[in-house]
Amino acid sequence: MSRNPMQQGHRSQRHRETATTARQRAFALSGEYLFTVVSAWLIPGVGHFLLGYRVRGLILGVSILGLFWVGQALAVPLQNPSLQDQRRYPLAVSREVNPVFFACQVGNGLSTLLANHRWGRPLYPNQNRDNIDRELPRSLNLAILFTSVSGLLNYLLLLHILDPRTWTQAKAEDEPLRGPLQ
C-alpha cells in the first residue's frame, strides 16, 4: 500500500512542531534556573549535580575545589624564626594585592570570597609597592596560577549550566547517565 507523499510531509512537519514545542517547554527562565546558576557559581559542580548529573557534578566539584585549595596550601609562607610576629596564612587570593588574578579566582565563588575575607589583606602594608619580598613563599606564583585556573574552569562549568540546551537535554532524557548516587 503506497502512502501519499503529502500525508508523509504533513506528519513529519507535525512531528517537528511537536519536538520544537517540547524543547521550548523543557527550558524556561524560572526560580529553579536562577537558583541552579547561582549555586553553580558558589560551589563548583553543584549545577550539574542539581540537574541530575550527580557523578559528573561530584567529580567536577572535587577536582576544581581541590585545585583551588591546593593552590591556597602552596601559598602559605615558610616559618621564619627571625620574625616574631609572622602571620602564616595563604596569600594566593587577595583582591587588594592581585586584583587581576582575583577576577579569575572569583569564578570559584564561595571559596574565593571566604579566602579573601579571611586571608585577603596584604601580609605587609606596602606589599604592593616594594620589591620582591624574601619572606613570601617560593611557590606563590604557582599558587596564584592554580587558584586562577580553577576559577576559570568553574566559569566554563557555569557557561555550560547557563546554556538552555543543557537544561533541555537533562529534561528530555528519560534516564540520563546519572550514576549510582541518584
13-29 confidence digits (pLDDT tens): 555 555 555 555 556 67
Percent of the chain, pLDDT > 90? 34
What pLDDT sits at residue 11? 55
pTM of the entire structure?
Answer: 0.71
Q: Which residues of 43-63 are buried (b: 16+ CB within 10 A; e: fewer)?
A: bbbbbbbbbbbbebbbebbee
What pLDDT sits at residue 176? 44
Instruction: Report pLDDT digits (tens) over 85-131.
Output: 455 667 788 877 788 888 999 999 999 888 888 877 766 555 555 55
Distance (Å, rounded) from C-alpha 10 to C-alpha 7? 5
Domain segments of the chain as ranges: 31-77+88-172
What pLDDT sits at residue 132? 54
Given a cut of 50, is residue 174 above it in pLDDT?
no
Q: Residue 109: which of 81, 75, 68, 52 has the closest Cα?
A: 68
What pLDDT sits at residue 99? 83
SS3 percent helix, strand, coil of the chain, rounded to 5, is 60, 0, 40
Distance (Å, rounded) from C-alpha 134 to C-alpha 76? 13
What pLDDT sits at residue 4? 58
What pLDDT sits at residue 129? 52
